[in-house]
Structure 1
Amino acid sequence: MPSLPSLPQGYRAIVIGATGAIGSALLAQLQADPRCAQAVGLGRHTRPAVDLDDEATIAQAAEQLKAQGPWHCIIHAAGMLHGPRGLPEKRLSQLNYAQMEATFRINTFGPALVLAHFVPLLAKRERSLLAVLSAKVGSIGDNQLGGWYSYRASKAALNMLLKTASIEMARTHPQAVLVALHPGTVNSALSAPFNGAEIGRPAAKAAADLLRVLDRLGPEKTGGFHAYSGQELPW
């Protein structure tokens, strides 16, 4: 079945973070869609490469792909929950500058530059979609448990950047839909330390859910925050 039937026949798609569990599943489903003329996956080791720690690579990749456009679907699927600096902080006493900076660089600053360089590649006169993978724990209104300080804050900041970009782009791309999506818990390296293999969903199922939600959103929903189930989430 087509992945994004609401897009024009022969649409073109880009997945950034295509080597991760969800990113690779998204790319595979888009490449398998007979209505998709081209689906490109980007990451640190692709050509062109996109390294979220290196703005020049983001700009260069966007410039190289611009000539192949217009692009109708761009999905940013890269992110980090834990890394060399440790697991998400449960208490204030665990906060440290290095871990906060690393988390924000990958979850907020890098995606912000992706928006800056890739949003202009979207088709202006046709329906187009751009999604960033956020997280429900980034919802300030839904935060009932606390903890995970840097991760929550980095995703909340990402949501604000996406919302702000959607307002600007609505003026020049009236048919574009820019949204933040919550994929749920997925079997991946990101969720593995938290029993993700036991409580998560297969990446292919998560990707199908996300594409289905994205496909159903109209321009009036641009700037929104949605779960893989279709539920609209509070900021």
Structure 2
Amino acid sequence: MAFINQISNANVLIVGASQGIGLGFVQKLLQDDKIAKIYATYRQQELADELITLESENSEKLTCLQIDITDESQIIEAVQKIRAQVNKLHFVINCVGLLHDETLQPEKSLRQINADNLLRYFQVNSIASVLLAKHLLPLFRHQERSIFASISAKVGSIGDNQLGGWYGYRASKAALNMFMRTVAIEYGRNSPKTIVVTLHPGTTDTRLSRPFQGNVPAEKLFSVERTVSQLLAVIEQLQQEDSGQFFSWDGSRLPW
């Protein structure tokens, strides 16, 4: 990774690494000799078999942490475990996101609005990232360049919204963008070498997007490997003045 070129022993944290884009980042970064340590989080052990196998095969480099990032106490505990081993992080990316599950589907109309479901969207997609920002700050306060990225979504752009629907997902990703824009301003004062960005990965062939791939042209449906490579290419080009911005997978800036 170009932004790590000046650092011989970079430390990385991938949040939400049991599957999809997060797992793809772990697989890709394990191959990078400039990275000393990778910390990777997962929530459910039964969905993290591949990640845990990677840890057993790369035990010196990869450490897995089981946390639910909607629980602040679990974030605090995980950060304490990381700080017991290293005193700085150079790259953090939060890949956790909720669009649907067994009980939750994106709303097509106001009739489907449910307050509990809206709260879940915000807890996972918005609040978790700002809690991470709160507790990771001490690990970013160093003199080497660092990046704190969160996976957002183009549908979280207010200016780009032409179709409506998906109230909870759209609003929670818009809130994520605002949280991280605000974090970027505070980090600019307290951790000025850290670049804070939100990233739209494009439609990636993961469990999150699978029920909604029907109208996606084949050339716009990315493999996990392609998405990770594209996002790393965007990350490598980031400059300090880009902190607080919202980027698409092709490096273009998205409207708020």
Are the aligned partners of 2:196 and 2:244 in contact in 1 as well (CA < 8 Å)? yes
1:214 aligned residue: 235
Percentage of pairs with the same residue: 38
Higher relative contact order (CA 8 A, sep 6+): 1
Q: Distance in 2 between matches of 1:181 and 1:120?
A: 23
Partner of 2:16: 17
Which deviates further from its counterpart, 59-68 or 174-183?
A: 59-68
Superposition map of 1:39-118 within 5 A: 39-44=38-43, 45=45, 47-67=64-84, 68-118=86-136
User: Letter of the aligned partner of 2:7 in structure 1?
Assistant: P
Amino acid at match of 2:110: L
For 1:43 and 1:7, the matched residues in 2 are separated by 30
The Cα RMSD (Å) is 1.7
- CA distance in structure 1 between the partners assigned to 2:255 and 2:6 by the alignment: 27
Deviations 1:26-84 (A, max 9, x none): 11111111111111211124753220232211111011112313110010001111123
- 2:181 pairs with one of 163, 180, 188: 163
Letter in 1 for 2:76: A
CA contact (8 A) 1:227 1:233 kept: yes
SS of the residue 1:48 aligns to = strand
Q: Given the superposition, is the C-alpha separation of residues 8 and 218 from structure 1 closer, same or farther in structure 2, using an over 3 Å criterion?
A: same
1:227 aligns with 2:226: no
The question of whether the paired residues in 2 share the 8 Å contact of 1:72 and 1:123 is answered with no
Q: CA deviation at 1:101?
A: 1.4
Instruction: Tell me the secondary structure at the aligned position of residue 63 of structure 1.
Output: helix
**Deviation of 1:3 (Å):** 6.6
User: Which segments of 5 or more consecutive residues in structure 2 lack a partner in the other structure?
Assistant: 46-51, 53-63
How many correspondences in the alignment?
Answer: 234
Q: Report the TM-score when normalising by structure 2.
A: 0.86
- Structure 1 unaligned runs (5+)? none
The 2-side partners of 1:16 and 1:136 are apart by 20
| 2:161 equivalent in structure 1 | 143
* Aligned equivalent of 2:57: none
Equivalent AA in structure 2 for residue 64 of structure 1: K
Mapping for residues 171-210 of structure 1, pairs under 5 Å: 171-195=189-213, 200-210=221-231
Distance in 1 (CA, whole Å) between partners of 2:88 and 2:69 is 23
- Does the 8 Å contact 1:4/1:212 carry over to 2? no
Paired with 1:119 and 1:60, the residues of 2 have a C-alpha distance of 15
Quick one: distance in 1 between partners of 2:126 and 2:132? 10
Task: Decide which moves more: 127-136 or 187-196.
Answer: 187-196
2: CA distance, partners of 1:27 / 1:42: 10
Q: What is the DSSP-based 3-state SS (H/G/I as helix, E as strand, rest coil) of the residue aligned with 1:132?
A: strand
Per-residue CA deviation, residues 137-182 of structure 1 (Å, 9 max, x unaligned), is 0000111111110000000000111010110011122221000000
| TM-score of the superposed pair, with normalisation by structure 1 | 0.94
